[in-house]
Amino acid sequence: MTQTQDATRTRTFGWSDPAEHAHLLGRRSGLELLTAMASGELPPPPIMQLIDGHGMRVEEGSVTLELDPQEFHYNPLGTVHGGVLSTLLDTAAACSVHSTLPAGVAYTSMDLNVKFLRPATIASGRLTCTGTVLQRGRRTALAESRITDAAGRLIAHATSSCMIFDIPGA
């Protein structure tokens, strides 16, 4: 983002072709795919580039993402928009489920229940969002995610149910 003294603000960003990930779904496990994204071997999905998320850390059953709040994340009240926070929460929870899946198996979020506890602003510092699988069955999984600010205060948390399914033709 570029900010100038005359209060003009602009933002330019690019993204990678999402097909780079899609063709690998049947060939690599979720943990392998996410680890490749975290290491930079594979580019992040376009949504992470859109919101300027970074700092992915992955282990089986848990994924952590980071976001430095910026003005372009703000709602009309001058705080980070709940949709941006929800996107982080959904991504961390769902990716934590993905990290447990073998090659040829995918997931989709069925719901996301979010609780916002305090506002986030630029002054909050880096936001850290960690998702963790709570329970995984053959066809569904339950995960939670939590966002904390740089001081370790809880900003928001969520639970998410994911549907697990075989990838056709994988």
Question: What is the reported pLDDT for 31?
Answer: 97
Question: What is the reported pLDDT for 13?
Answer: 84
157 in any annotated domain: yes
Bridge partner list, 58:
63
45 in any annotated domain: yes
How is residue 55 written in tokens?
Answer: 């700092």
pLDDT band at 3 (very low <50, low <70, confident <90, very high): very low
Residue 51's domain is classified under what CATH number? 3.10.129.10
22-26, 96-100, 152-156: range with lowest mean pLDDT = 22-26
Question: What is the reported pLDDT for 169?
Answer: 76
78 in any annotated domain: yes
114 in any annotated domain: yes
The residue type of 106 is A
14 in any annotated domain: no
Report pLDDT digits (tens) over 98-155.
999 999 999 999 999 999 999 999 999 999 999 999 999 999 999 999 999 999 999 9
The total number of structural domains that make up the chain: 1
Report pLDDT digits (tens) over 74-93.
999 999 999 999 999 999 99
55 in any annotated domain: yes
- Tell me the pTM: 0.92
Q: Which domain holds residue 59?
A: 20-166
